[in-house]
Amino acid sequence: MENILAQLLGLLNETLASAIVIVAASMLLYNLTRNLRDRVARTSALLLGCVTFTYICDVLVSLDPSPGTYRSILRMQWIGIAFLPVAMIHLSDALLATTGLPSRGRRRRVIRVLYLISAVFVLAAAFTNWLIIPTQIDPEYFQGIYFSVQAGPLFAVYCIYFAIATAVAFIYVGRARKRCLTRDTRRRMGYLQFALLTPALGIFPFSLLIGAGQEYSLIGLILVNVANIIVILSLAFLSYPLSFFGSDIPDRVVKTDLLRFFLRGPMTGVLALAMILYFTPATRILGIPVQSFLPFAVVAAVLLWQWFVALALPVLERRLVFIGEDREHFARLQELSERLLTREDYVQLLEATLASICEYLRVSTAFVISLIETEPEIIAGIGPLRPNATSLKAEAESLRDLLNNAEEAPLVVWQSFWVAPLKGHREGQSLPVGILAIQARAAVIDLTEDDQQELAKFVYRADQTLEDLMVQTEILAALEGLLPQMQLTSRTREQIEYLPPRADAPAISLPEDAKARALFNEQVRAALRHYWGGPGLTNSRLLDLTIVNNALYGREDNPTNALRAVLIKAIEAQKPDGERKLHSPEWTLYNILELRFIKGEKVKDVGLKLAMSDADLYRKQRLAIDAVADTLWEMENKARNGQAEAHT
């Protein structure tokens, strides 16, 4: 009985060790791909890397390697064991620096020395018997060749080093927790203070303290399995607070992403691995050879798990992430996301409606003209007999007058088309939002009563589709103007979560400067897109610039007009010398800025005037916006420097 129990515990130990590798490696990749520039993410990757490497060696020795390979793996495992203490201190130092208390140089020098000490321990374990002594043993419950390790004369020094490093890391994180200002940040730092200790306790080579081969005894296997379970839980517990550092997205999104990643990534890998490990010892399952049964069993288990995750995720998110009023807000946002369509989707719906009209009336042409913009535009059409943009522009006013004077009739005659107004159904909507034009099959409208009723259904459908497109355009325009402000708000979160840094702290780093410039450019883009009105201009953080405040004089103290004047000045700074030419490369950026934003012309019209494709126009438009942003940045720096000199 003891032999069977020992075999089961050994298999469980192998499974848990493999699970630790999967979880640690997955969380390592997750943190690196999210924010590699953040120091906490990089140093936590070192810690997770030590855990991953140590347990990979545990998995390798369970695969019955040759005696020489077995001894090499036991020595190689000390790469993770030796570097773990300094990785803990390095991570705790990064957490302390995040709270505004960076190293003056002393902690940085100490960490470098500790890395050298860890490297000495690795060399001692790899090439000498000073730290560990691999010893061949014959376990009571297992068959085959096994090795264990005995403590060398240098192991006591490592224990002291390990204990001091763990204590220092604990103290550093405790200091960082005290510097946190918000309750949530202080709570997460408290989680880290204790979760940081668990991987250390799970990796520390206790087998060297209890005697060679005792880890293979029944009691030893039970203790090892319990320790492995604690390490798995602690890794998940450790990854949770670490995910929030260096993140400029809301906490809700971080929690949701982490939950989804953990269920779909590491848990799927652990499930597939468990299926392989526990089915492989069998010879036949359900009368089928295990080699043939196992691939289908693993695939079936993974598919069933993904199906379960798809069903369980909404419930878990509601209970773990969205609490109280957030649950209702999330439901509304999710509903909005599901209802929003792309412009191409709306065009396809309109084209389907137009095709049905043409089929019913036996004509070849029908199209929808949008009157949402300042100039009419055909946004969807069927057939060849459509008017061009020039004729539409010339007939715009007469067409609007014709529709306004024909409220009683469902259709009116215009040129060689029957047209119906699309007025929308929004409260307070008086003017038509569009026109449905159908190729006239006679000089007069000769529809029967049934034809009129059927046509009214098509007109109503097109009316709804065009109105939905108009509403969505307004929503996207508002979001385009507000998102840069929201990005800046999320970016300032760290500034209110921790105590401010010391006065002699180093200046802001280059990655943060690059991020600030990217947000500034996004603000400029939103302001230009909403140049003639909209939240991108009226709610812009650019209104707080010194150059905008200086431009208020003479503009009735209107900040929006002042910002508009500053933008004009920055655009004019892009104008080359000499006579203006539409197709000259030197004038391209200025022409795009003037036509797209000052005159508000459409992309297609500007592309035709400048003889470039839409893709090329969008690419050069980004360059033009960046150039305006650079000019504004320089103007702002000069204005601030001028104020500083005036005060001195």
Domains of the chain (ranges, CATH numbers): 2-248 (1.20.1070.10), 252-272+282-339 (no CATH), 343-469 (3.30.450.40), 506-647 (no CATH)
Say what the pTM is: 0.60
> Ranked by mean pLDDT, which of 12-21, 45-54, 391-400 comes out on top?
45-54
Helices (H), 265-388: 266-279, 290-320, 325-339, 343-361
C-alpha closest to that of 137 among 80, 217, 221: 217
- Check the CA dihedral 61-63-64-68 and report its sign: negative
CA distance 111 to 88: 10
Find the radius of gyration of the CA atoms of the chain: 35
DSSP 8-state code for residue 283? S
Token pair 């005696």 is at which residue? 67
| Percent of the chain whose pLDDT exceeds 90 | 9
Q: CB-based contacts of 179: which residues, under 8 Å, 6+ apart?
A: 96, 99, 100, 101, 498, 499
- pLDDT at 329 (0 to 100): 65
CA distance 155 to 33: 37
Q: CB-based contacts of 411: which residues, under 8 Å, 6+ apart?
A: 418, 419, 420, 445, 447, 455
Q: How confident is the model at residue 511 (pLDDT cuts 50, 70, 90)?
A: very low
Q: How confident is the model at residue 509 (pLDDT cuts 50, 70, 90)?
A: very low
Lowest mean pLDDT among 202-206, 391-395, 432-436, 593-597: 391-395
Average pLDDT over residues 303-307: 91
Cβ burial, residue 313 (10 Å; 0-12/13-18/19+): middle
- pLDDT at 554 (0 to 100): 66
Q: Give the pair of three-digit tokens for residue 297.
A: 């069993």
- pLDDT at 508 (0 to 100): 36
- Report pLDDT digits (tens) over 366-388: 998 887 666 778 888 888 887 87
- pLDDT at 505 (0 to 100): 41
Q: CB-based contacts of 126: which residues, under 8 Å, 6+ apart?
A: 75, 76, 78
Token pair 């321990």 is at which residue? 121
- Report pLDDT digits (tens) over 414-439: 888 888 888 766 655 556 778 888 98
Q: CB-based contacts of 460: which residues, under 8 Å, 6+ apart?
A: none
- pLDDT at 334 (0 to 100): 67
- Determine contact, residues 55/271, Cβ cutoff 8 Å: no
- Report pLDDT digits (tens) over 246-268: 565 666 677 788 888 888 888 88
- pLDDT at 390 (0 to 100): 73
- Ordered DSSP codes for 59-100: HHHTT---HHHHHHHHHHTHHHHHHHHHHHHHHHHHHHHHTT
3-state secondary structure 370-402: ECCCCCCEEEEEECCCCCCHHHHHHHHHHHHHH
| Long-range pairs, 5-12, Cβ under 8 A, ≥24 | 5/218, 6/140, 6/141, 6/142, 6/218, 6/221, 7/141, 7/142, 9/218, 9/221, 9/222, 9/225, 10/141, 10/142, 10/216, 10/221, 11/277, 11/278, 12/225
Average pLDDT over residues 181-197: 79
Mean pLDDT of the chain: 78
